[in-house]
Amino acid sequence: MDQDLQLMKELTEAAGPPGLEVRIHNVMRRYLEQQTSHILSDNLGSLVGCLGEGGPRILLAAHMDEVAFMVSHITRDGFLRLQPLGGWWGHVMLAQRVHVLTRKGDLTGVIGSKAPHVLSVQERKNVLDIETMFVDIGASSREEAEMFGVEVGDPIVPICPFEVLPNPRMLMAKAWDNRAGCYVALKVLERLRREHHPNTVFAGATVQEEVGLRGAQTLAHTVDPDVAFALDVGVAGDTPGMNQKEGHSRLGAGPLLGFYDNSMIPHLKLRDLVIETAKKQRIPYQIDLMPGGGTDGGKIHTANRGVPTMVISVAARYIHSHVSIVHRDDLEHAVRLLVELVKQLDESTVNRIKGLDRRGGRPQEEGEKRLEREPSYV
């Protein structure tokens, strides 16, 4: 397994429930420290590595959390009730293995419900309510479950080992949403160390995206970027049953450029620059419109006085389940595109995108002095 695949394996297999991201946070910090001596963090756990000195501030933000669960109740018979963390659909949950992360160690369990043999005909037609499901860890009582170390509030994460499929470009794992973006952010930093870029780059990942884009809000205020890219995954439309209206992106056809989602419309001048760069560098890309979802860009682009922001994603199959699949070429092309974009974002280009004059001020604000921003590194 090459180094890039090993990085993907470590990123995807690390646990990172929203609000409880400590394990994936530690993985990200360790890899960021290999790329830069400067790490900037907010108070919730979002963090970025910093490269460059001076010039525009460019933020590349993935999110490190994954859809997961929390123990909401331990029944008298030792079963664990679930509080979803992020968006789950009942059909993808049943009979799936999970890890319960307790103070005494990780416990393996399985998500269960009433057996279909005892359901009415109408009940079988419906998606079972998550409230009726439970995790079976083999405990015979509440006291035994507590003896194992289980407490209300403990996180529960899916189990799915990283695996390279028979087509070696196809990669299966849990949490590609959004360890794909984490991988892209780390690889962009790695390559920029060998490139000249006329700016200061902040690349890393936020927390709590799956429960309301919370880390994006705090990180954007911490970094105060001039331009930002949200790095995420999009819904692949290349599986049986998907029609053109529901999704048309395909694995292996290039990164997704977000033209619309429920949280953000991209900045037009930045969008044009991304398209021009992809065409000039002959990097394949796909257009993505996602009316039913949002990304960290939704919070980043409204920070302070507004931040020109674009979402660059990769297509993924079966997100918000225990397993998902991405294409290695899409990850590589996303990295290439972002590196080329960063290299172009000098002060003149950023001012043009933001509508500023050559001196960095709007006509009605020429006498206004811009606040100096000094990051505090941790």
Point out the residues that are catalytic.
Answer: 209
- Give the C-alpha separation, 22 to 14, whole Å: 10
- Give the C-alpha separation, 222 to 300, whole Å: 11
DSSP string, 65-101: ---EEEEEEE-TTS-EEEEEES---GGGTTT-EEEEE
φ/ψ bin of 213: left (φ > 0), alpha (ψ from -120 to 50), beta (otherwise):
left
Strands (E) in the chain, as ranges, are 38-41, 47-51, 57-63, 68-74, 80-85, 97-102, 105-112, 134-136, 155-158, 163-164, 170-173, 200-206, 227-235, 256-261, 286-290, 309-316, 324-327
131's tokens: 């409230």
